[in-house]
Amino acid sequence: MRPNRVKKILKEGGLALGTYTGGIADPQIVEIIGHAGFDAAFIDMEHTSFDLRDIQLMVMAAERVGITPIVRTPGFDPAFILRLLDMGVQGIQVPHISNAAAAREAANAVRYAPLGDRGMAGASRASDFGKIPLKEHMEQSNREITLAVMIEDLPALDDIDAIASTEGIDIIAIGPSDMSRALGVAGTADHPKMLAAVQRVSDAIRKGSVARLALPMNHAALPRNAKQLRELGVGYCNCAPSPEVRILKSMQAQVAEARG
């Protein structure tokens, strides 16, 4: 398994930059993300129609350009996560983690024993089809795989201290869209309730000293640039917009100029 670019940046205390592949099921999007200079391609299976074949090709593209493929799963399913890991996915992001028990289950799903309970296959793609000895592969995976859990619901805030101190978690990602919805302030930028929730999570992460905070850049509910995110202690961020939005805006501008 190749070194995980995002995990290296996190350990060094830096800010890793990712961006969305959007809903375009083409590995060339991932290659473009890498050539642009991002550290990660955020591949979303929660809100897209991607299938596992799409993911496999995107992972191969990420490997080609030396960036970290991070997949957000549709939910928590250890068997599904195992298939992603065995194909070579380096980052797993699990949505809607609401308590420490769920966080521990997620960590168990992505780590081999003795750190977790991930199932073993003798010749997976992640082990170069068996070329890497099993013990070495297990050690590499436990060292290089990045696990992110998403804080998006009110019960998660109540248990955030325990979540933030859960071994095996690398990133605690706040989902501003769902969190603002849960707080009853959706559609409002910088609402005091949202700011208080972010501070609560940030404080817990500092105390837990296990994971790094993740927030998207320039999100409508929490508009922050890279400098501001660093000041909040953020270690990973996704940069909006998605490729579809970027392409649409560029084409709209071209048409407007041509017709003007």
| Tokens representing residue 214 in the block | 């993740």
CA atoms within 13 A on the CB side of 50: 27
From residue 77, how far is each of 82, 93, 107, 215, 244 by CA, in Å?
9, 12, 12, 24, 29
Beta strands in the chain (DSSP E): 16-20, 40-44, 68-72, 91-94, 146-151, 171-174, 212-214, 234-239
Helices 78-87 and 52-65: crossing angle in degrees, nearest 10, is 40
**Residue 47 is among the residues annotated as catalytic for this protein:** yes
| Tokens representing residue 7 in the block | 């995990």
Please name the residue that has the structure tokens 């350009």. Answer: 65
Asked whether 61 and 31 are in contact (CB, 8 A), the reply is: yes
Determine which one of 47, 96, 137, 219 is catalytic.
47
**Amino acid letter for position 23:** G
| Tokens representing residue 210 in the block | 């296990």
Q: Which residues are catalytic?
A: 47
